[in-house]
Amino acid sequence: MRKFNHVGIPLKEKMEGMIYAEPLKVYITDCSQSPNKIEFLYFEPDTPLPQLMIDQAHIAYEVENLDEAIKDAKLLFGPFDMGHMLLAFVEEEGIAIEFNEFKK
C-alpha cells in the first residue's frame, strides 16, 4: 500500500535553507515544512540520481516494504539506505516515483 509523502520539484538554483544529502549529491528542502508537501531539489552535476528526476518533478510515497514495492518495477535507482529510511526510484507513467520505507 502506498501513502502519499511529497512531490519533488527540481530547481536550477539552490534555495535558502536547503539541506545537503551528501551521498546523493543533492540539496533538498524539508517537505514536512511545506503546506503542500513539496520538496525542492537542486542537483550537483555528478549526482548519481537518474536524469528523469533531474529533468522533471517526481512523486514520493511511503511504503511498508520497499522490496515488495519495487518488485517487477522499472528500477531507476536504489534501493539506497539513507540511515532513517530506505529509498528507491522507479519509473511509472513516464515519471520518477520515489518509494520510502521508514525504519522503525
Q: What is the pTM of this model?
A: 0.91
Q: What is the pLDDT of residue 86?
A: 96
What is the set of domains in the chain, with CATH numbers?
Answer: 2-102 (3.10.180.10)
**Interval 38-80: pLDDT, tens:** 999 999 999 999 899 999 999 999 999 999 999 999 999 999 9
Structural contact between residues 52 and 68, judged by C-beta atoms closer than 8 angstroms: no
52, three cell numbers: 528523469
Structural contact between residues 33 and 64, judged by C-beta atoms closer than 8 angstroms: no
Average of pLDDT values for 84-93? 95
Average pLDDT, the chain: 95
* Buried residues in 61-94 as b, exposed as e (16+ CB within 10 A): ebbeebeebbeeeeebbbeeeeeeebbbbbbeee
Average of pLDDT values for 23-38? 96
pLDDT band at 83 (very low <50, low <70, confident <90, very high): confident
